Amino acid sequence: MKKQKVKVVIVDDEELSRSLVKEYLSSHSNMEIVAECANGFEAVKVISELRPDLMFLDIQMPKLSGFEVIELLDNPPSIIFVTAFDQYALKAFEVHAADYLLKPFSKQRFDEAIERVLPNLNRPNKTKEIAVAAKTPDQMLERILIKEGNKVLVIPVEKIDFIEAQDDYASFNVEGKSHLKMQRLAELEISLDPRLFVRIHRSYILNIERLSKIELFAKDSRTAILKDGTQLPVSRTGYDKLKELL
């Protein structure tokens, strides 16, 4: 029986870089390039539809970075990073046994990456963990990425009014609309700028720029009134945090 080829997608905003990967892949008869993408938005759509086995992924791209592409994929394929990224990221890749090609790279180094990744193609990979590990500890979120159907929403954090916990999901409330993403509030709390976002309740994180006033609701219980009239519960701990900032 004829052995099935490895389906490959190339994601890089530089045409020259994509061409080099294609050239090096031409000597690997077991590989089939099913798509090439010049940006992250296109990559998310193509990968969700084609479900490739392997992706060559650049990190520093306009619009969406390689890490953000990973974040938006439900089931990322095996990944070989093609990058000029700094040592922080490279250490994270090594720890998680993902391979990377540091630009410029040779054909020999390319072939080594292929040989390293092939045995692990059908095993669960840790690309989500890699994306998290590669961030520096003090790096604050600047935008939230949410996949809704075939669309990708990019929400600057300053546009968020408040975030509400809904089981394993977080509901991001922006200009009267809510958008769901599978993410825990505790994870968001440590990723958002503490000068702007406050955990006012176990179920709510508030953008303090949206706060109009705080009213006493009952003993040790208060309500935050937002500028648009929305009312959110404030716990005793949440009130103490707010007092420190206001």
How many CB atoms lie under 10 A from the CB of residue 169?
14
Q: Do 93 and 117 fall into the same domain? A: yes
What pLDDT, on a 0 to 100 scale, did the predictor assign at position 2?
A: 57
Residue 204 forms part of a structural domain: yes
H-state helical runs in 39-80: 40-50, 66-72
Strand pairing report for 54-58 and 99-102: unpaired
**In the numeric block, which tokens belong to residue 55?**
């992706």
Percent of the chain with pLDDT over 70: 87
Answer with the one of 69, 103, 133 that is the final residue of a domain: 133
Residue 35 forms part of a structural domain: yes
Residue 1 forms part of a structural domain: no
The amino acid at residue 71 is E
Percent of the chain with pLDDT over 90: 59
Residue 21 forms part of a structural domain: yes
**In the numeric block, which tokens belong to residue 65?**
């970075």
Q: Do 15 and 100 fall into the same domain? A: yes
Q: Which residues pair with 241 in a beta bridge?
A: none
Residue 138 forms part of a structural domain: no
CB distance 197 to 238 below 8 Å: no
Nearest Cα residue to 203 out of 237, 240, 231, 163: 163
**In the numeric block, which tokens belong to residue 202?**
């176990």
Domain that holds residue 180: 143-245
Cis peptide before 104 (omega within 30 of 0): yes
- pLDDT per residue over 189-200, tens digit each? 999 999 999 999
Domains contained in the chain, number:
2
What pLDDT, on a 0 to 100 scale, did the predictor assign at position 110?
A: 96
Strands, sheet with 78-83, edge to edge from the N-terminal-most edge strand? 31-37, 6-11, 54-58, 78-83, 99-102
What pLDDT, on a 0 to 100 scale, did the predictor assign at position 120?
A: 79
Say which residue, 100 or 26, is predicted with more confidence: 26
- The pTM for the full model equals 0.80
**104 phi, psi to nearest 5 deg:** -80, 150
Mean of all residue pLDDT scores within the chain? 88
